Amino acid sequence: MEFKVIQECKSSKARLGEIKTPHGQFETPVFMPVGTQGAVKAVSSEDLVEMGIKILLANTYHLYLRPGCGTIEKCGGLHRFINWKGPILTDSGGFQVYSLAKLRTISDEGVTFQSHLDGSRHFIGPKEAMEIQQVLGSDIVMALDECAPYPADYEYVLKSVKLTSLWAKRCVEHKKDHHQALFGIVQGGMYSDLREMSAKDLTEFCFDGYALGGLSVGEDRDTRERVVSETRRFLPDDKPIYLMGVGKPEDLVRAVSLGVDMFDCVLPTRNARNGTLFTHRGQLVIKNACHTEDDRPIDEKCGCYTCSHYSRAYLRHLFMAKELLAYRLNTIHNLYYYNQLMDDIRCAIREGRLADFRNNFFRLQQEKD
């Protein structure tokens, strides 16, 4: 993987960058749709290409359990298995083991856990996490980390940071495929000194990129932005910075100004299935009765397939009737909105007007539909 900074913002820490991988290149800041089990819910790979999506995220934990690494390997790797020709980033599964496993036991060697699917017992350590991701063939792989719960006391988070550093070192040692980029994950909860400790530990290993983990787990926005800002100071400027699991459009705009390059979140696809749609003037709840006879598109400034062909009235009808088409059309719109938002941010950085873009973005969000 190659990363280069194309342009820096004069009014903030935002920067325009470019990442090259074996399966193509993309500009940053970038939002990665979540295809947890090898599929972005309700849409196809062809839909994503048409929207202009360049990179997807998939999850090691879920793909390891189902359909299994052996199946994916026999089918030619994850790219071929899901018919996606662009770059793929795979999360190591540390967060899923923490949040989904019925029972888990953590040791220096790794995690023994019970599957959330059938209760079967499994073990994943740094070596196993790297081997699984090598079989998947993703372009960017994540080191195994230990995600502390929120809230958590200082001593627990300290142990979590030390364990994450130990596992990070072993992931570096077990990395076999030199075509794959390896990112380390900074932990430390909401404690400034532990975030600093984790960041400094991980930079010793010269990862290809650095992620901020253990955020968007229940903390308030001000706390999250403080942690991102403080931690960012201890991470190298010549490597991409990835904020995991964030977030709302306004969170992305703010985090870009703090120097974040990459994002992922289930919010656009999950909200689409729940009937909440994003527009340049805030969120729109399609089931509301005011849309019953509304012949306008979701967002008159949107160029997505859904807005080009269907009215709010029809989309409300589909959603209220629980037609499957509602989920697809809503998801296409929300993902297009997120992708266009990042494109607009990159354009604003390139043209030196990010501050004006931010002010206009938040002004329009307050106006509402």
pLDDT digits (tens, 9 = 90+) for 23-59: 999 999 999 999 999 999 999 999 999 999 999 999 9
- The predicted pLDDT at position 100 comes to 79
Q: What is the mean pLDDT of residues 157-184?
A: 96
170 shares its domain with 24: yes
Q: What is the mean pLDDT of residues 170-187?
A: 95
By annotation, the residues acting in catalysis are 91, 264
Task: Kindly report, residue by residue over 115-131, the tens digit of the pLDDT.
Answer: 989 999 999 999 999 99
Question: What is 224-240 written as a DSSP string?
Answer: HHHHHHHHHTTS-TTS-
Q: Which residues of 302-315 are buried (b: 16+ CB within 10 A; e: fewer)?
A: bebbbbeebbbebb
In a domain, 30, yes or no: yes
Q: Which domain-ending residue is among 243, 265, 287?
A: 265
Give residue 93's pLDDT band: very low, low, confident or very high (50, 70, 90): confident
- The predicted pLDDT at position 177 comes to 85
- The predicted pLDDT at position 95 comes to 84
Burial class for 267, CB neighbours closer than 10 Å (0-12, 13-18, 19+): buried
Q: What is the separation, in whole angstroms, between the first and last Cα of the chain?
A: 42
Share of the chain above pLDDT 70, in %: 99
Give residue 103's pLDDT band: very low, low, confident or very high (50, 70, 90): confident
Please determine, for residue 94, whether its predicted confidence score (pLDDT) is greater than 90: no
- The predicted pLDDT at position 72 comes to 98
How many domains is the chain built from? 2
Residue 34: name the closest of 252, 266, 205 by CA: 266
pLDDT averaged over every residue in the chain: 96
317 shares its domain with 285: yes
- CATH number of the structural domain spanning residue 81: 3.20.20.105
In a domain, 349, yes or no: yes
26 shares its domain with 93: yes
- The predicted pLDDT at position 369 comes to 65
CA distance 303 to 93: 35
- The predicted pLDDT at position 232 comes to 98
174 shares its domain with 314: no
Q: What is the mean pLDDT of residues 79-102?
A: 90
Going by the DSSP 8-state scheme, the letter that residue 22 receives in this structure is T
174 shares its domain with 290: no
| Residue 276, CB-side half-sphere exposure with 13 Å CA sphere | 10
Threshold 0.95, pTM exceeds: yes
279 shares its domain with 237: no
Give residue 160's pLDDT band: very low, low, confident or very high (50, 70, 90): very high
Give residue 272's pLDDT band: very low, low, confident or very high (50, 70, 90): very high
In a domain, 362, yes or no: no
Range of the domain at 341: 272-356
